Structure 1
Amino acid sequence: MRGGRLKLAAILGILVGSGLALLAWSRPWYSVTLVAGSATGPAALEVGGQTASPALSALALAGLALAGALAIAGPAIRIVLGLLAAVLGGCVVLAASIAIADPVAAVSSAVADATGVAGAGPTAELVAATAATAWPAIAVASGALVVVAGLAVVVTAKAWPTSRRYGGGVRLAADGRGEAVPSDRAVDDWDDLSRGDDPTAPEPPTAPEPPTASEPPAPGDADGRP
């Protein structure tokens, strides 16, 4: 597989995984049935990922930002960002797995809001049953995808094509003088526009140099010969 395709696949993996994690965070995770008479409202609650795993949104947004940074990063920074992506993906898996392992604790804050009872123990006694949706498992899968994509970045970072920004902005001519590439000239023109100068305007003519005083002819003929 070519370097460009490797780069695209790895970045898309991080984007898709982070996007799925963010989507899962916004969807319902559990349907909770409370003990009869324990709540002033309905006896059944729908608990979303915002309550069950609140850290998931920050991790997913960090993954999206990291994917954008990878698109313009240099070879050395790619490896660092790939490791960070793997760590972020692992944190997504951990955050979702904690909610799956103990659903009663994951929904305790929602139960406390519905019943007015505080504390992990008392709220747990008010939960009659919990039913999980598919979104917690999707969150775990999205984190695993980010981990795999991050490790792929670390392994294939050196094979990615180097952007012009990091490929060197000056070419050495045969006489040893540096010639700016077109991308650098475009940046210089933009800087001129920012200062209020028009890079397309013709350069003002330079003033002619004053003539140098010639030495007076030696005594003799008009042409200076004796």
Structure 2
Amino acid sequence: MNASRMKSPAIIATIVGAGLTLLSWSQTWFDLRLADGAGAGTPADAIPVAGSIASPALAALSLAGLALVAALALAGPGLRMVLGVLEVLLGASIVFAASTSIGDPVAAVSPAVTDATGVSGAGPTAELLASVTASAWPAAAIAGGALVVLAGVVVLATGTKWPASSRRYRGVRLAETDDHAEPAPRAASDRAIDDWDELSRGDDPTG
């Protein structure tokens, strides 16, 4: 595909990846069961642990990814390279945060154990756990982060060749000039201002 046509796919991939991460963050990541005698129901009672508890940083990371979308849509070629680097780092941070929770689920659910039992500390809360079962949402967050990384790579590879933003986003719209065209008539208010300036300098504008 032509590099100049990669703007929309890169922006859409950023939206999908960041949006998937934010959605994952709001869902249940783990179901934990406490050991018998832990003081919060029976071992058969599963306690859901949301992504907001298991990996709280994902909310800020995903929102930052969504904020990049507007910047990428309006930025010039040079700034796109900077944003591309930021996007790769942002996606990598999402993958790292979600992977850390999957790699150490006991630590990820520790705050939920503390809420249920009043016991704090990684060691004491680990002793109260009977089991921890992961859902598919942590993997979905990793997929979202990977998609953001891929979009950032596309920005770095093709961003300098993207078409410029639409004219409707520009502050000033310049009309084409014609060397043989007569100058446009000046407004009366502009002439009055010039006359006042001449009077201030001591010149007579009627002379």
TM surpasses 0.5: yes
Aligned to 2:18: 18
Return the structure number with greater helix share: 2
Where does structure 2 lack aligned partners over 5 or more consecutive residues?
196-204
Aligned to 2:200: none
Asked whether the equivalents of residues 41 and 114 of structure 1 are also in contact (C-alpha less than 8 Å), the reply is no
Displacement after TM superposition at 1:176 (Å)? 11
Question: Aligned pair 1:76/2:57, yes or no?
Answer: no
Aligned to 1:118: 120
Aligned to 1:59: 61
Aligned to 1:45: 47
Displacement after TM superposition at 1:171 (Å)? 6.4
Looking at structure 1, the residues matched to 190 and 9 of structure 2 have their Cα atoms a distance apart, in angstroms, of 54
Report the count of equivalent residues.
187
Displacement after TM superposition at 1:67 (Å)? 1.1
- CA RMSD between the two structures: 2.7
Asked whether the equivalents of residues 11 and 72 of structure 2 are also in contact (C-alpha less than 8 Å), the reply is yes
Asked whether the equivalents of residues 22 and 60 of structure 1 are also in contact (C-alpha less than 8 Å), the reply is yes
Identify the match of residue 153 of structure 1 among 155, 178, 186.
155
**Secondary structure of residue in 1 paired with 2:74:** coil
TM-score normalised according to structure 2 size: 0.81
**Secondary structure of residue in 1 paired with 2:6:** helix
Identity within the alignment, %: 52
Q: Describe the shift of the 1:160–1:35 C-alpha distance in structure 2 as closer, same or farther (beyond 3 A).
A: same
Displacement after TM superposition at 1:158 (Å)? 1.5
Displacement after TM superposition at 1:203 (Å)? 3.9
Asked whether the equivalents of residues 3 and 161 of structure 1 are also in contact (C-alpha less than 8 Å), the reply is no
**Secondary structure of residue in 1 paired with 2:30:** strand
Displacement after TM superposition at 1:159 (Å)? 1.5
Identify the match of residue 111 of structure 2 among 92, 109, 112.
109
**Secondary structure of residue in 2 paired with 1:118:** coil
CA offsets, 1:59-96, max 9 Å, x none? 00000001111111111101110110110000000000
Q: Describe the shift of the 1:10–1:123 C-alpha distance in structure 2 as closer, same or farther (beyond 3 A).
A: same
Q: Describe the shift of the 1:38–1:161 C-alpha distance in structure 2 as closer, same or farther (beyond 3 A).
A: same
Q: Which amino acid aligns with 1:150?
A: G
Aligned to 1:143: 145
Where does structure 1 lack aligned partners over 5 or more consecutive residues?
180-201, 213-226
TM-score normalised according to structure 1 size: 0.75
CA offsets, 1:112-166, max 9 Å, x none? 1101111110000001101110000000011000000001001001210012467
Looking at structure 2, the residues matched to 74 and 176 of structure 1 have their Cα atoms a distance apart, in angstroms, of 34
Alignment of 1:172-183 (within 5 A): 173=177, 175=179
Q: Describe the shift of the 1:103–1:172 C-alpha distance in structure 2 as closer, same or farther (beyond 3 A).
A: same
Asked whether the equivalents of residues 34 and 40 of structure 2 are also in contact (C-alpha less than 8 Å), the reply is no
